[in-house]
């Protein structure tokens, strides 16, 4: 019974995101994810404040950036463009992260 409820909630979430995202997929692509994590890791390595409560044993900027992305607290926006010049700016927290 709970799997039915979970799948209904997931479908509702997909519909909500699809209403907002007009260009491209409702999921964060692996290329967008790599670019976001790389940019955020570079910021962290240059001394930017960390936006999550970091465990003491976590020192790798890439792993910290991944943790921030999974927590959906990064204040970054993606710009998806069409060949005709049309574009849409999408906040990262609106997109759905695929399971790893």
What is residue 13's predicted lDDT score, i.e. its pLDDT?
87
Q: Which fold has domain 2-94?
A: Eukaryotic RPB6 RNA polymerase subunit (3.90.940)
**In sequence order, which ranges of 1-98 are alpha helices (DSSP H)?**
2-20, 30-45, 61-71
Closest CA to 76 of 20, 26, 33: 33
Domain boundaries, the chain: 2-94
Residue the block writes with tokens 């695929």: 98
* 66 or 7: which leads in pLDDT: 66
Is a pLDDT exceeding 90 seen at residue 65?
yes
Mean pLDDT computed over 62-83 = 93
Mean pLDDT computed over 40-61 = 92
* 97 or 45: which leads in pLDDT: 45
Burial of 66: CB neighbours in 10 Å, binned 0-12, 13-18, 19+: middle
Least confident segment among 1-10, 21-30, 79-88: 1-10
Mean pLDDT computed over 65-81 = 92
Most confident of 6-10, 52-56, 80-84: 80-84
Mean pLDDT computed over 66-87 = 93
């Amino acid at each position: 019974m709970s799997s039915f409820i979970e799948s209904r909630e997931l479908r509702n979430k997909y519909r909500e995101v699809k209403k907002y995202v007009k260009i491209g997929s409702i999921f964060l692509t692996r290329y967008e994810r790599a670019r976001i994590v790389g940019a955020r890791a570079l910021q962290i390595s240059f001394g930017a404040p960390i936006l999550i409560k970091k465990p003491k044993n976590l020192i790798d900027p890439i792993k910290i950036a991944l943790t921030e992305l999974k927590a959906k607290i990064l204040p970054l926006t993606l710009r998806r463009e069409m060949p005709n010049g049309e574009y849409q700016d999408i906040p990262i927290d609106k997109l759905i992260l695929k399971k790893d």
